Amino acid sequence: MPIVALLLLTALYGCTTTAVLAPSVSPLTSEKYAAIVVDANSGRVLYESAAHQPRYPASLTKMMTLYMLFEALDTGRVGLPTQLPVSANAASKPPSRLGLKPGESIDVQTAILALCVRSGNDVAAAVAEYLGGSEEQFAWMMTVKARELGMRSTNFRNASGLPDPGQITTAYDMAVLAMALRTRFPHHYHYFANRSFSHAGRVIRGHYDLLGRVNGVDGIKTGYIRASGYNVATSASAGGRRIVVVVMGGKSAKERDAHVEELIHAYLPRSTPSS
């Protein structure tokens, strides 16, 4: 099992209370709520609530889609200029989307930005079909990768996070994935800090409002479907300290983001400085 997951398992399963440290932030009242705060330098769990309860990932799914795409880049299977064809199936995906048309193609670098910034469901499907042959096969590959990373409670059914009752995860597993992305791909992680990008003569802006507003936040991904509520995985650092925060099930983006900001202010100072 990867060291990230092993450290988290040791810390979390040794805990019998809602939070490892004395809680200074109240949980959200939503029945869909789950959260975890992890010290990214030590793997210590600083806060958790329902962190192992099943939840719908929504577009946090795209963190794994990007993990698979980064892996393909590093193995040479694709390059940043590689063109990914857009099928009728990919083009038909509902918003959020980039607005790709059947028969078009999109280069890998633009696809990465579209997934990070715009959370394009059409782009996610195009990536899945290119790397997996079909979105169903790619979802199986994503689930296999999840097990390799120590994500024991995650099953993927698509590459985007669009509604599917079989697509489930936990706040814990999403924290494992968020940490693994930085650990495994530090040279690609900068994509998660982008707030906009240009495509087809347009500036495409994202909706990850914590970026640029909360000091120390450098990524990573938001998500929403009706069944999940408002989700986010966030990385924040200051003075050599770094935490990963996952909040799932907010009733609104504003409520979710305010809660994440509270957690950052409460627990980033309690995390371990890098040596």
Q: Which tokens sit at 225? A: 């479907």
3-state secondary structure of 189: helix
| CB count in 10 Å sphere of residue 58 | 27
Could you state, in chain order, the average pLDDT of each consecutive group of 10 residues for the chain (275 residues)?
57 42 82 98 96 98 98 98 98 96 97 97 98 98 98 98 98 98 97 93 90 93 97 97 98 97 96 90
Structural domains in the chain plus CATH codes: 3-59+134-270 (3.40.710.10)
Omega before 96 cis (within 30°)? yes
Please tell me the predicted confidence (pLDDT) of residue 275.
77
229 contacts 32 by C-beta, under 8 angstroms: yes
Measured CA to CA, the distance from residue 98 to residue 26 in angstroms comes to: 37
Helix (H) or strand (E) holding 36: strand 34-39
Q: What is the pLDDT of residue 133?
A: 98
Q: Report the DSSP beta bridge partners of residue 238.
A: 241
Q: Write out the two tokens for 142.
A: 């994503």
Nearest to 127 by CA among 95, 105, 156, 103: 105
Give the burial class of 94: count Cβ atoms within 10 A of its Cβ; 0-12 exposed, 13-18 middle, 19 or more buried. exposed
Global pTM? 0.93
pLDDT of 254 reads: 96
| Structure-token pair, residue 273 | 């400085």
Give 142's contacts (C-beta < 8 A, 6+ positions apart).
61, 64, 65, 68, 156, 159
- Cβ atoms of 269 and 218 within 8 Å: the answer is no
* Nearest Cα residue to 84 out of 99, 106, 101, 115: 106
In 10 A of CB 148, how many CB atoms?
Answer: 12
Q: Which residues of 174-211 are buried (b: 16+ CB within 10 A; e: fewer)?
A: bbbbbbbbbebbeebbebbbbeebebeeeebebebbbb
Active site residues: 59, 62, 119
Q: How many alpha carbons lie under 13 Å from residue 126 in its C-beta half-sphere?
A: 31
Amino acid, res. 160? S
pLDDT in the model for residue 200:
86
Long-range contacts of 81-88 (CB under 8 A, 24+ apart): 81/107, 81/108, 81/109, 82/107, 82/108, 83/107, 84/108, 84/111, 84/126, 84/127, 84/130, 85/126, 85/129, 85/130, 86/122, 86/126, 87/125, 87/126, 87/129
